[in-house]
Amino acid sequence: MSFTFRHMLGTEALSRDEITFLLNQSRAFQGIQKQPLKKLATLRGKSVVLAFFETSTRTRISFGTAAARLGADTMNLQAESSSTQKGESLMDTVRTLEAMKPDVIVIRHAASGAPHFVADRLGIPVINAGDGVHEHPSQGLLDALTISDRLGRLDGLDVTIVGDIRHSRVARSNIHVLTKFGCRITLSGPAMWLPPELAQIAPSIRLQPRLEDALDRAHVVMVLRVQTERLQEPALPADEYIRLYQMTPARLGLARPEAVLMHPGPMIRGLEIDPAVADSPQSCVLEQVTNGVAVRMALLYLLTGGAPGSGATG
Ligand code: CP
């Protein structure tokens, strides 16, 4: 199939075939991460804007690494040291960046829909690197690639996602990817963090506040970051969250023996995850990071006009 997208704003609109295509393109770039010389000239002469209006370690550095390994230049905006601090609007900021003639803009913003707003108004491709509580499409794709690598398939898996589902763009992007492969998704966490509308996305999604009942038969256990500021007395003190939802070796033991443990990062060890689980052989947290570079190389390559199938050889 040919790649017809102008932007990458979310996984909701992607078909199963399109996701499969993107994962196959990413696989072509996985091999490059293992080479002693990792740099291609595929996007030589192209420029990638990294416009991060919200903090990031993995996504920002991963997109920057992906651009560098394709031979592209990067233009970095970090909101805390930019003129957004002087009151410049989002649109004036991104139009200023566009005037420097980049080929693609990667944007992270705390407001859900900000990348869509920008995409409607700029003349270059836009990649959503995480918008509010909406989507984080490259994370959903790298998670699918990691699951597929570890388990040899995506089809028909039992996937348990644990934590603050309500505020998780990672959960949403994963749900939109995995349900297209017939995965059965169980969302577990405090009832106030389990939005019933998410269960409407597909009949294979269920909400299960009791974590022990959510882990049975899981092939994939995905633990989400908990924002400590959301853990407050009296609604949900941190010690109560830890007691009910921390992923411990005993809880992971309720899943299938071959289950993979995932976390998008940043991890708060001792809060949502026991360090023994984070560092266990079942954990693929660092594989997720490695695969993120390959997925982002594929996205940058395809959205800047690369010819499908030739990316990893250029
Ligand atoms: N997974 C993820 O989005 O991490 P960062 O916030 O560090 O980019």
Confirm or reject: Cβ of 266 under 6 Å from ligand 1.
yes
What average pLDDT does range 241-270 have in this prediction?
98
Atom of ligand 1 nearest to the CA of 62: 8
Per-residue pLDDT band at 234 (split at 50, 70, 90): confident
Cα–Cα nearest to 21, from 286, 306, 314: 306
> What pLDDT, on a 0 to 100 scale, did the predictor assign at position 312?
38
Q: Does the pLDDT at position 204 exceed 60?
A: yes
For the chain, give the mean pLDDT. Answer: 94
Calculate how far, in angstroms, residue 61's C-alpha sits from the geometric centre of ligand 1.
9
Question: How far apart (Å, rounded) are the C-alpha atoms in residues 238 and 251?
Answer: 18
Per-residue pLDDT band at 270 (split at 50, 70, 90): very high
Atom of ligand 1 nearest to the CA of 60: 8
> What pLDDT, on a 0 to 100 scale, did the predictor assign at position 12?
97
Dihedral angle computed from the Cα positions of residues 167, 170, 175 and 176, in that order, rounded to the nearest 10 degrees: 110
Q: Does the pLDDT at position 36 exceed 70?
A: yes
Q: What structural domains does the chain harbor? A: 16-135+289-303 (3.40.50.1370), 137-283 (3.40.50.1370)
Calculate how far, in angstroms, residue 60's C-alpha sits from the geometric centre of ligand 1.
8
Confirm or reject: Cβ of 292 under 6 Å from ligand 1.
no
> What pLDDT, on a 0 to 100 scale, did the predictor assign at position 313?
32
Burial 272-284 (b: 16+ CB within 10 A, else e): bbbeebbeeebbb
What average pLDDT does range 287-308 have in this prediction?
91
pLDDT in tens, 151-170: 999 999 999 999 999 999 99
Query: Which range has the top average pLDDT, 2-6, 79-83, 85-89?
Result: 85-89
pTM of the model: 0.95
Q: State the sign of the Cα–Cα–Cα–Cα dihedral 77, 79, 85, 89.
A: positive
Taking a C-beta distance cutoff of 8 angstroms, is the pair 264, 56 a contact? no
Percent with pLDDT over 90 in the chain: 90
Q: 49 pairs with which residues across the strands?
A: 75, 105
Calculate how far, in angstroms, residue 56's C-alpha sits from the geometric centre of ligand 1.
5
Q: Does the pLDDT at position 1 exceed 70?
A: no
What average pLDDT does range 120-141 have in this prediction?
98
Burial 75-88 (b: 16+ CB within 10 A, else e): eebebeebebeeee
What average pLDDT does range 276-284 have in this prediction?
98
Q: Does the pLDDT at position 33 exceed 50?
A: yes
2 against 23, higher pLDDT: 23
> What pLDDT, on a 0 to 100 scale, did the predictor assign at position 3?
67
Percent with pLDDT over 70 in the chain: 96
Q: Does the pLDDT at position 306 exceed 70?
A: no
Q: Does the pLDDT at position 96 exceed 90?
A: yes
Calculate how far, in angstroms, residue 1's C-alpha sits from the geometric centre of ligand 1.
30
What average pLDDT does range 209-222 have in this prediction?
97
What average pLDDT does range 227-253 have in this prediction?
92
Cα–Cα nearest to 60, from 293, 298, 309, 279: 293
236 against 4, higher pLDDT: 236
For ligand 1, pick from 55, 57, 142, 286 the residue to mutate: most ligand atoms within 8 Å of CB.
57
What average pLDDT does range 244-256 have in this prediction?
98
Q: 105 pairs with which residues across the strands?
A: 49, 126
Calculate how far, in angstroms, residue 36's C-alpha sits from the geometric centre of ligand 1.
26
Q: Does the pLDDT at position 236 exceed 80?
A: yes
> What pLDDT, on a 0 to 100 scale, did the predictor assign at position 54?
96
Q: 131 pairs with which residues across the strands?
A: 109, 135
Q: Does the pLDDT at position 81 exceed 90?
A: no
Alpha carbon nearest to ligand 1 atom 1, residue: 264
Confirm or reject: Cβ of 76 under 6 Å from ligand 1.
no
